[in-house]
Amino acid sequence: MFWPSCPLQFEMKHWITRWFKPLAVTIICALAHTVEAQTNRANEIEYASPDQSVWSTKLNERGEPDNPLLSLATALFTKANIPWRSQIYPASRLFKNLQDGSSQFSILVKVPALQECCLWSKKPVTSVEIRVYRLNHKSAIKTPDDLTGKTVITIRGYSYGGLRNFINDEKNRVTNNESPTHVAAFKMLMSGRADYLIDYAGPAAEILASEAATGIQSDALLRQDVHLVLSKTYPDAAKVMAQLESIANGLDSAAIIKNHGK
């Protein structure tokens, strides 16, 4: 026997069709966005940079070193569609974080401490220059060996890509006078505290442009390549590094770095 649907059943069916389906779609979409957000957070890269810049003496609005490589990182991760953030650390903490995966990315000169834990880009993305500054009457320094037996000024905190090991080695008879800042270092040189000042070209150029420093010449000592660095702990690290390298090869890194902050 056929029994017609009662009005209550019809109303319930109509209510379910009208309200439940859109609600279900909304819930499913919300859950999908939540999962996507959680995945993005899990795959977010932390770009760790040193708290002492080899590029500039300038500070940003937070009082931190103004790192032009942030502009390069922005271009890389935007094109790669990878969520990221930046954080500054002392060098020793930075190395430890990359080793244990607390930080996943940086842009650095190659260092032995990170060779096993990290992947390095095959090609450098830029380079940094170390120069020796001197008064006009002093002879030029062209190689680290030329520093043997000399009196020098260095800036505290820099390893100079391993050059400090040469300076600190007693057999090389280098007398080192440490300066807390770039400005103080040039004042020491001008006052005759030492024969030579070892500094990175970027910060030194800013000091020489702003200070009344005359009669100073400089010579290139070392040029060091700077590479992308990715912790092996990052998901699909080799694939991601290959992607970042491919993007970097298509960027004008020199122009990006030069135009930082403009």
Model confidence band, residue 199 (pLDDT cutoffs 50, 70, 90): very high
Asked if the structure places residue 96 within a domain, the reply is yes
Which residue in 194, 200, 204, 199 sits closest to 174, CA to CA?
194
Residue type, 165: N
pLDDT the model gives residue 42: 53
Same domain assignment for residues 32 and 162: no
Non-local (6+) Cβ contacts of 176 within 8 A are 152, 153, 154, 167, 168
pLDDT greater than 90 at residue 118? yes
Same domain assignment for residues 112 and 27: no
Same domain assignment for residues 55 and 66: yes
Same domain assignment for residues 97 and 140: no
Mean pLDDT of the chain: 88
In DSSP terms, which residues pair with 86 in a beta bridge?
A: 47
Asked if the structure places residue 1 within a domain, the reply is no
Same domain assignment for residues 72 and 137: no
Asked if the structure places residue 218 within a domain, the reply is yes
Non-local (6+) Cβ contacts of 215 within 8 A are 135, 136
| Structural domain containing residue 77 | 44-125+226-258
Same domain assignment for residues 220 and 131: yes
Residue type, 186: F
**Location of structure tokens 């954080």:** 87
CA distance 140 to 129: 16
Asked if the structure places residue 114 within a domain, the reply is yes
pLDDT digits (tens, 9 = 90+) for 30-68: 444 443 434 444 589 999 999 999 999 998 888 888 899
pLDDT the model gives residue 43: 84
Non-local (6+) Cβ contacts of 9 within 8 A are none
CB-based contact 240:104 (threshold 8 Å):
no
Same domain assignment for residues 98 and 133: no
Asked if the structure places residue 89 within a domain, the reply is yes
Q: Which residue has the higher pLDDT, 20 or 33?
A: 20
- Report how many domains make up the chain: 3
pLDDT the model gives residue 135: 93
Same domain assignment for residues 57 and 173: no
CATH code, domain carrying 69: 3.40.190.10
Asked if the structure places residue 4 within a domain, the reply is no
Same domain assignment for residues 72 and 139: no
Asked if the structure places residue 146 within a domain, the reply is yes
pLDDT greater than 80 at residue 5? no
Same domain assignment for residues 167 and 184: yes
pLDDT the model gives residue 18: 62
Which residue in 147, 134, 154 sits closest to 218, CA to CA?
134
Which residue in 88, 58, 46 sits closest to 260, CA to CA?
58
Same domain assignment for residues 54 and 169: no
Asked if the structure places residue 247 within a domain, the reply is yes
Residues composing the chain:
262
Same domain assignment for residues 212 and 137: yes
